[in-house]
Chain A
Amino acid sequence: AQKVTQAQTEISVVEKEDVTLDCVYETRDTTYYLFWYKQPPSGELVFLIRRNSFDEQNEISGRYSWNFQKSTSSFNFTITASQVVDSAVYFCALSEVDDKIIFGKGTRLHILP
């Protein structure tokens, strides 16, 4: 069975610090997809990134970067120079081919001014 673990329940950092959100997954499939979503206080889940299991290249988008390592089954998310607007709950998610998305329990991130 597929599973997503986000061990960090809640993190607080001071603005401008870098912060990494951890995600570890389990799957028996060789083909799968990993996602990160952001849920600000307004409630909407915002899609951030999708990565398939064959693409281990790290990705950077502005202050956001993702480190995918199949060897450790991890897909970690780093925010550089954090801002108060980054405060949200972040969900890592996994889906196997032709299957529904499974969400981790989420990490609540507080960026303190």
Chain B
Amino acid sequence: DTEVTQTPKHLVMGMTNKKSLKCEQHMGHRAMYWYKQKAKKPPELMFVYSYEKLSINESVPSRFSPECPNSSLLNLHLHALQPEDSALYLCASSQDFGSSYNSPLHFGNGTRLTVT
């Protein structure tokens, strides 16, 4: 069983909808990530939170809005998405970020998002 839990597993939304993806980890990790993965492509980094503060935003459009309410939770708020935003959205956590240790990422199962 994965130690990073993502909900929902599947989501279908219209272009005018507002929805949120949720991610939770209880490994005591201090860094959390959102990745986007299109079919047959590697994961692409979207956001990194370190100690609940946004450390990296990879020039993601503002229709994606991340939120880190506490060290265990990470949300991704979605609004006015486009069909090309349909993808697998993966949450990950790691022990830390920005240290010389480069701790490995632990991924959730992902949310498969379809925008109609």
Q: How far is the CA of A45 from the CA of B40 in the complex (A)?
A: 14
- How near does chain A come to B30, taking the closest CB pair, in angstroms? 15
Give the docked Cα–Cα distance between A106 and B41 (Å): 7
- Looking at A46, A47, A105, which has the most chain B CB atoms within 10 Å of its CB? A47
Grouping DSSP codes into helix (H, G, I), strand (E, B) and loop, the B interface class, with mixed when no group exceeds half, is loop
Answer whether residue A35 sits at the interface, using C-beta atoms and an 8 A cutoff: yes
Partner of B106, one of A47, A98, A100: A47
Known contacts A97-B102, A100-B48; is-contact A42 B109 (Cβ 8 Å): yes
Return the chain A residue nearest B98 by Cβ.
A98
- The answer to whether A45 and B43 have CB atoms under 8 Å apart is yes
Residues of chain A lying within 8 A (CB to CB) of residue B99: 98
Interface size on B, residues (CB 8 A): 23
Q: Does B2 contact A (CB under 8 A)?
A: yes
Contact A100 B2 (CB under 8 A): no
Interface centre among A45, A46, A50 (most CB of B within 10 A): A45
A-contact bits for B15-48, CB 8 A (1 contact / 0 none) = 0000000000000000000000000111101001
Interface residues on A, range: 20 to 34
Contact of B100 among A97, A104, A106 (CB under 8 A): A97
Q: Which residues on A sit within 8 Å (CB–CB) of B41?
A: 105-106
User: Separation in Å of the A66 CB from the closest CB of chain B?
Assistant: 14
With contact pairs A43-B109, A43-B112 given, residues A95 and B102 touching in the complex (Cβ less than 8 Å): yes
The answer to whether A44 and B102 touch across the interface, beta carbons within 8 angstroms, is no
Q: Indicate if B11 sits at the interface (CB-CB under 8 A).
A: no
Which residues from B are CB-within-8-Å of A25? none
Contact B105 A45 (CB under 8 A): yes
Contact between B104 and A35, CB atoms less than 8 A apart? yes
- On whether the beta carbons of B108 and A44 are closer than 8 Å, the reply is yes
Contact flags A2-46 to B (C-beta < 8 A → 1, else 0): 000000000000000000000000000001010101000011111
The 8 closest A-B pairs by CB, nearest first: A103-B42, A45-B107, A33-B102, A43-B110, A44-B109, A47-B104, A95-B102, A50-B104
